[in-house]
Amino acid sequence: MARKYFGTDGVRGRVGAHPMTVDFALQLASAAARVLAPHGGTVLIGKDTRLSGYMFEAALEAGFVAAGVNVMLIGPLPTPGIAFMTRHSRCDFGVVISASHNLYDDNGIKFFDAEGGKLSDELEERIEAELAHPPTTRPSVNLGRATRADRSRTEYQAFCARTLEAGLDLTGLKVVIDCANGAAYKVGPRILADLGAEIVPIGCSPNGRNINDGCGSTAPDLLQLTVPGVRAHVGVALDGDGDRLVMVDHLGRIVDGDQILYVLARAMQEAGTLKGCVVGTVMSNLGLELALRAAGIEFRRAAVGDRYVLAMLRECGGILGGETSGHILCLNKTTTGDGLVCALQVLAAMKQSGRSLAELAAGVRKFPQVLLNVKVATRFDPTAVPQVQAAVARIQQRMGEEGRVVLRASGTEPVIRVMVEGRDEAQTRAAAAELAEVVQGAA
Q: What is the pTM of this model?
A: 0.89
47: nearest Cα among 5, 84, 94, 113: 94
Helix (H) or strand (E) holding 148: strand 146-148
The segment with the largest mean pLDDT, out of 65-74, 298-307, 380-389, 395-404, is 65-74
Give percent of the chain above pLDDT 70.
99
Question: pLDDT tens across 191-213, in order?
Answer: 999 999 999 999 999 999 999 99
**Residue 121 or 42, more confident:** 42
Q: Mean pLDDT across the stretch 353-369?
A: 95
318: nearest Cα among 281, 265, 275: 275
The pairing of strands 299-302 and 320-322 is unpaired
Beta bridge partners of 8: 10
Report the alpha-carbon distance of residue 252 to residue 143 in Å, rounded: 54
Instruction: Give every CB contact of residue 55 below 8 A, 6+ residues apart in sequence.
Output: 22
339: nearest Cα among 89, 115, 163, 102: 163
Set 30, 100, 284, 325: catalytic member: 100
Question: pLDDT tens across 122-145, in order?
Answer: 999 999 999 999 999 999 999 999
Q: What angle do CA 42, 46, 50 make, to 5 degrees?
A: 150
Cβ pair 268, 320 in contact under 8 A: yes
Report the alpha-carbon distance of residue 79 to residue 20 in Å, rounded: 18
In which band, very low, low, confident or very high, does the pLDDT at 378 lie, cut at 50, 70 and 90?
A: confident
Q: Is the pLDDT of residue 437 over 80?
A: yes
DSSP-derived letter for residue 179 is -
Question: pLDDT tens across 296-355, in order?
Answer: 999 999 998 888 999 999 999 999 999 999 999 999 999 889 999 999 999 999 999 999
In which band, very low, low, confident or very high, does the pLDDT at 1 lie, cut at 50, 70 and 90?
A: low
34: nearest Cα among 101, 133, 154: 133
89 has catalytic annotation: no
pLDDT at 412: 67
Q: Mean pLDDT across the stretch 70-83?
A: 97
Cβ neighbourhood burial of 337 (10 Å; 0-12, 13-18, 19+): buried
DSSP string, 225-289: HHHHHTT-SEEEEE-TTS--EEEE-TTS-EE-HHHHHHHHHHHHHHHT---S-EEEETTS-HHHH
Beta bridge partners of 73: 45, 148
Question: pLDDT tens across 3-53, in order?
Answer: 789 987 899 999 999 999 999 999 999 999 999 999 999 999 999 999 999
Average pLDDT over the chain reads: 95
| Domains in the chain, CATH or no CATH each | 11-151 (3.40.120.10), 173-254 (3.40.120.10), 256-366 (3.40.120.10), 369-442 (3.30.310.50)
Cβ pair 337, 306 in contact under 8 A: yes
Question: pLDDT tens across 397-426, in order?
Answer: 888 877 889 898 876 678 999 999 998 899
The pairing of strands 328-330 and 320-322 is antiparallel
Helix (H) or strand (E) holding 340: helix 339-353
pLDDT at 381: 84
pLDDT at 400: 81
Which of 70-79, 208-217, 286-295, 397-406 is least confident? 397-406
- Rounded to the nearest 10°, the torsion over CA 241, 219, 369, 258 is -50
Cis amide prior to 368 (ω within 30 degrees): no
